Amino acid sequence: MHKRRLGRSDLLVSRICLGSMTWGQQNSETEGHAQMDLAFARGVNAIDAAELYPIPPKAETQGRTEEIIGSWMQARGNRDKVVLASKVVGRTANEWFRGGRPSKLVRADIFDAVEKSLKRLRTDYIDLYQIHWPERDTPWGANPNRIGAVPPRADAVAAPAGETPIAETLSVFDELVKAGKIRHYGLSNESTWGLMRFTAEAGKGIGPRPVSIQNAYNLVNRTFEVNLAEACEREDVALLAYSPLAQGYLTGKYDHGARPEGSRTQLFNRGARYETPNAAEVLLEYNELARSFGMEPALFAGAFVLNRPFVASSIIGATSIAQLEVALSAADVTWTEEMQTAVDAVHQRVGNPCP
């Protein structure tokens, strides 16, 4: 599988990165190992994790995903062949991450997170360590408006009390790189302003530049294109696109209000991001468009993301081997100009219903 460089780093990642957030809850250790075996046999070389995982986050399951990845790498003896990514939580009132206190992006909390992740992953270093979300009151993904504002519109954003300055957080990542605990760092669920602040502070010599940003990008959320695509191109920051299938809503399994037994939405009721006003109609339209090209919706949606020029790698996730096979097969699809024109025509009319 073709590999792409992350920013100005020496990290070369496959076009598809294997997501892991179901391992330890929806998926067992054995199933997680089987997914990694298949993905790596198909040319994937990158795994994305987080101290938060599995999803949905709970104190009793937190960290299991990293443990499963760690046991797999130890059993296969392949740590040197894996581009391993993980994440530290942003500001949160949940106290289970830090043993009984809230967490912020300060030195004590970041170091605590790294040391625990390294132990669970059974490794001495993490290739790409990402900030899962900012301390600021800023939306998840590439959405340019505040959380809950639908349709997207400008809103006042006040800095929370005691907000950790980006320069302070960056200095911690500089220390981690110099200590050899991480090789590079990246951002996630970040805005254009946040990205530019990190690169500006790095330009002052406070710490290294981010090499990547992990934000949502799919057919019903193309907000990354508005400002972040230009900023990332000019600043040499690579996009790791998550949720290419819109949490499964672009597979067709939820069409017409269906809730299949065992699906994430049926189990956890966590589909609010893709249940916004008009979302059901737009999702169905894209799924029907895929079928008009003779393709499974999941294959079509995955191929769309993989063929965008600013996507370094698409982060896929699955709860079954059959789902994983489809997600991996998107790399083999020949994406045509006709497909792109058809997708853009729908987007021009409906915009981004699920930012």
217 assigned to active site: no
CA torsion 355→281→312→69, rounded to 10°?
Answer: 90
Long-range contacts, stretch 174-182, CB < 8 angstroms, 24+ apart: 174/206, 174/207, 174/208, 175/107, 176/110, 176/111, 176/114, 176/129, 177/207, 177/208, 180/124, 180/125, 181/114, 181/118, 181/124, 181/125, 181/126, 182/114, 182/125, 182/126, 182/127, 182/128, 182/129
Tell me, what DSSP letter sits at residue 27? Answer: B
Report the distance separating Cα 302 and Cα 237, nearest Å: 22
DSSP H helical segments within the chain, as ranges?
29-41, 64-76, 107-121, 166-178, 192-203, 228-235, 264-268, 279-292, 297-306, 321-329, 337-350
Report the distance separating Cα 170 and Cα 21, nearest Å: 26
Query: Considering only CA atoms, which of 28, 128, 38 is closest in space to residue 83?
Result: 128
Q: Sign of dihedral through CA atoms 244, 190, 36, 9?
A: positive
Selecting among 53, 242, 249, 286, the annotated active-site residue is 53
Catalytically active residues are 53
